[in-house]
Amino acid sequence: MPFCRSFCTYCDFYSERACPSAKWLDEVCSEALARKDEIAASAAVNTLYIGGGTPSVLPLDYIARIADACGGRSYSEWTVEVNPDDITRDYAGGLKALGVNRISMGVQSLDDAMLRWMNRRHSASGARSAFGMLREAGFDNISVDIIFGVNGMSRVMLQDTLREILEWRPEHVSAYQLSVEEGSALGRLVRGGRYTELSDEECSAQYYLICSMLAAAGYEHYEISNWALPGFRAVHNSAYWTRAPYVGLGSSAHSLRRNPDVRSWNSDTLSGWTSSSEVLTSEEIREEQIMLGLRTAEGIPGYGRIPEDRWFTADSIIAGLI
């Protein structure tokens, strides 16, 4: 879903400030119907993930039509990404009524100055209010995203954000280190000498602060950037890490078919997108298994689980490869 009302400082994903149109909706639904056999082949995972861009700018009837085109509204996990600024009681209740059973909300920080620097639309109080309205609507599976590794975000600031989020008790937390993407506003700041990246040492310290606080609060660290309360791992995202087949619809979406393994991707255009593909070799498949396995608590297929205290050390990587 390529639509955003504003662009975050760090974002380099394909997105448009244009409003979602009926023409765009028709094309997404037509693509879903044309690829119904691929969707059926991925049905074992039984998930639907409407991601962005900012899906919460979509009217509820657009979300309903997309789900219907994909095969219905009864999924074991149906996630919609939202921006806190878009959440009202009516919208939260409407998502719940459609059958959405999981929300992923981009909070990023609870410091208003940091949110302004990131060019986020919401404020800290807006995030609090949105989370409360989602709970009131009956959502009992909410994931919250945060960002760390920002020059200007102190460990104290990060700790304060985490403390409050842990008081909310979301079922899932994702934490992503800020990266400088060439095409982003942040990339331009770096090239112009107006932003200096945080040191690796400080980024590492912030990451381990997150790890320790979430572990102490009872969250399972099951993937390098993801933590969940028991029973609330992201089913959809976990399928990516195990290379289960999946179908991506719309502009800039990626897909994976199996037997043979074919990766395909749509062009970065608002409408009339085209698809390209490649057949993966056995060597490329194995490289993916290693790369994805090293991201997860389960480790590389065939080698077993890597203890968390050895996840990011050279000896654990070597042990996983020999």
For 47, how many CA atoms within 13 A lie in the half-sphere containing its CB?
22
Separation of alpha carbons 252 and 15, rounded Å: 9
Give the residue-averaged pLDDT of 21-25: 94
Per the listing, tokens 């919460």 go with 56
> Sign of the CA dihedral 209, 214, 220, 225?
negative
pLDDT at residue 319 in the model: 41
pLDDT at residue 315 in the model: 44
pLDDT at residue 271 in the model: 87
pLDDT at residue 1 in the model: 83
Would you state the structure tokens that stand for residue 260, as one six-digit string? 């043979």
* Sheet of strand 262-266, all strands in order from the earlier edge strand to the far edge: 254-257, 262-266, 275-279
Q: Name the pLDDT band for 308 (thresholds 50, 70, 90).
A: low
First to last CA, the chain: 41
Query: 68: how many CB neighbours lie within 10 A of its CB?
Result: 12
pLDDT in tens, 196-220: 999 999 999 999 999 999 999 999 9
Mean pLDDT of the chain: 93
Give the residue-averaged pLDDT of 256-270: 95
pLDDT in tens, 35-59: 999 999 999 999 999 998 999 999 9
Alpha helices in the chain (DSSP H): 22-34, 36-41, 60-70, 89-98, 112-118, 124-136, 155-168, 185-191, 200-216, 235-241, 282-293, 314-321
- Res. 320: pLDDT tops 90: no
Residues with Cβ < 8 Å from 284, sequence gap 6 or more?
none
Q: How far is CA 272 from CA 4, 19, 129, 251, 266, in A?
A: 19, 16, 38, 8, 10
Q: Name the pLDDT band for 19 (thresholds 50, 70, 90).
A: confident
pLDDT at residue 80 in the model: 98
pLDDT in tens, 150-171: 999 999 999 999 999 999 999 9
pLDDT at residue 17 in the model: 85
pLDDT at residue 18 in the model: 78
Separation of alpha carbons 62 and 1, rounded Å: 11
Length of the chain: 322
CB 147 within 8 Å of CB 205:
no
- Res. 313: pLDDT tops 80: no
- Res. 303: pLDDT tops 90: no
Give the residue-averaged pLDDT of 267-282: 94
Separation of alpha carbons 44 and 5, rounded Å: 35
- Res. 317: pLDDT tops 60: no
Of the options 3.30.420.40, 3.30.360.10, 3.40.50.720, 3.20.20.70, the CATH number for the domain spanning 22-233: 3.20.20.70
- Res. 78: pLDDT tops 80: yes
pLDDT at residue 307 in the model: 62
How do the domains of the chain map onto residue ranges? 22-233, 241-321
CB 258 within 8 Å of CB 285:
no
CB 144 within 8 Å of CB 165:
yes
pLDDT in tens, 80-89: 999 999 999 9
| Closest C-alpha to 90, from 101, 98, 102, 78 | 98
DSSP code per residue over 236-281: HHHHHHTT--B---STT-EEEETTTTEEEEE-S-SSS--EEEEEPP
| Closest C-alpha to 174, from 125, 139, 221, 217 | 221
- Rounded to 5 degrees, φ, ψ at 143 are -110, 140
SS3 298: coil
pLDDT at residue 306 in the model: 60
pLDDT at residue 304 in the model: 65
pLDDT at residue 302 in the model: 77
pLDDT at residue 142 in the model: 98
